[in-house]
Amino acid sequence: MKKLFLIALILSFSLSLEAALPDSILIKRVNELSAQIQKKYAPDKRIEFFQLKLEATEPLTFNLQATKAEAIQELRALLKSENISAIINDELLPAKNLEGKIYGIANLSVINTRYAPNHAAEMATQATLGTPVKILKKEKGHFFVRTPDNYLSWTETEGVTPMNKTDYENWQAAEKVVYTDLFGFAYSEASESSLTISDLVAGNILQVLSESNGFYKIEFPDKRIAYISVKRAQSFDLWKNRPDPTAEQILKTARNFLGIPYLWGGTSIKGMDCSGFTKTSYLLNGIVLPRDASQQALVGDKVDILENDTLSISKALKNLKPGDHLFFAADKRNRRVSHTAIYIGNGDFIQAAGLVRINSMISGSKNYDDFQSRTLVGARRVLTAIGDPEITRIDKHPYYQGLVNQ
């Protein structure tokens, strides 16, 4: 009797396995094709999104979200070519349930963004008050946003004011000022002894309602009203339309950050990582750069500083100019850029490493940085490439012109 029961149990298990096998094979193949598409259209998750999720097995159903229509179309074509019968519920981001509120403005002095929609996730980057973003979807109290440097990440909904097209265009058209002090406050009255409404950092952008007695009456994206001294701000139109920055201006801004602590994902006076430091030194001079060091290493004009793939101090001193970007690879075998700095001159460079500090690549110098000098693998000149793809003046950037769909 026991034998008969065991045989029946084994047969039942085998039949169940056989029934499940076709679905598992199909799911595996769909995932393989999905991986091909992701590699083609979204190889860098920092700038493009492609996600396929299994929803049900009977019938075989997947949910697909992507930032490129071509990716969705090609996956469907591949499935059809292999006669794979599966339901694909696709959505080209921004998500439809946002109901047109795909335009956003950062409404805190600094918003932190992360690689997943939860507080424990790794920090990705920051955006400062007044920064326009594109909202792609909402999940778990977070918005999935694209910032002007094309970076994708999640931020708490409280940090961004969502807008429809009309409200966004009105915000862009309104008179605004940019906060120019490194750090300060917006006040409840036209007095710096009144209660604070918010802290502010350099680069914050606010709408102007009026001006009197040495104060701007300003409005935040979320409609809070406050006051700031006219001495601590400048017309946004004048600020963004100024001439291209010089090396001296970039380095003056960079030196203002000396002593600021290193913060992974930071791009503000509250803390900076290496590429956040270089990016912000340019952003406060009206130039939008890519977010990460590995991305910044691909833009600008190359500067020859190597001899047989090794740093040549003589070449570096001869060819580098103030304001050039230096790039470092901790693992020189794969030469993947993991750090960046700005060249000052005479072998000195300024970097965010522990804190923002000035070091030298010349052995024997008092401020010589042995590790960074040994790992220096390249240099780029940004100031001669302003206007090239991904080196964009703010006054030419579509997000700051109200063209967030581009």
Q: Is the pLDDT of residue 12 over 50?
A: no
Q: Average pLDDT, stretch 28-55?
A: 96
Rounded Cα distance, 391 and 393, in Å = 7
Per the CB < 8 A criterion, the answer to whether 254 and 272 are in contact is no
Comparing 316-320, 363-367, 373-377, 401-405, which segment has the lowest mean pLDDT?
401-405
How sure is the predictor about 20, in pLDDT bands with cuts at 50, 70 and 90? very low
pLDDT of residue 393: 97
pLDDT of residue 374: 86
Tokens 């791009």 — which residue?
Answer: 267
pLDDT of residue 73: 97
Q: Is the pLDDT of residue 6 over 50?
A: no
Per the CB < 8 A criterion, the answer to whether 328 and 375 are in contact is yes
DSSP track, 323-338: T-EEEE-SSTTTT---
How sure is the predictor about 398, in pLDDT bands with cuts at 50, 70 and 90? very high
Summarize pLDDT for 263-274 with one digit per residue, the tens.
Answer: 999 999 999 999
Q: Give the number of other Cβ atoms within 10 Å of residue 223's Cβ.
A: 9
Tokens 């693992």 — which residue?
Answer: 331
pLDDT of residue 1: 52
Contacts of residue 392, Cβ cutoff 8 Å, sequence gap at least 6: 287, 288
Higher pLDDT, 309 or 282: 282
Which tokens is 80 given? 């059809």
Q: Average pLDDT, stretch 240-267?
A: 98
Note the pTM of the prediction, 2 decimals: 0.91
Summarize pLDDT for 75-111 with one digit per residue, the tens.
Answer: 999 999 999 989 999 999 999 999 999 999 999 999 9
Class of residue 179 by CB neighbours under 10 A (exposed 0-12, middle 13-18, buried 19+): buried
User: E-strand spans in 8-86?
Assistant: 50-57, 60-66
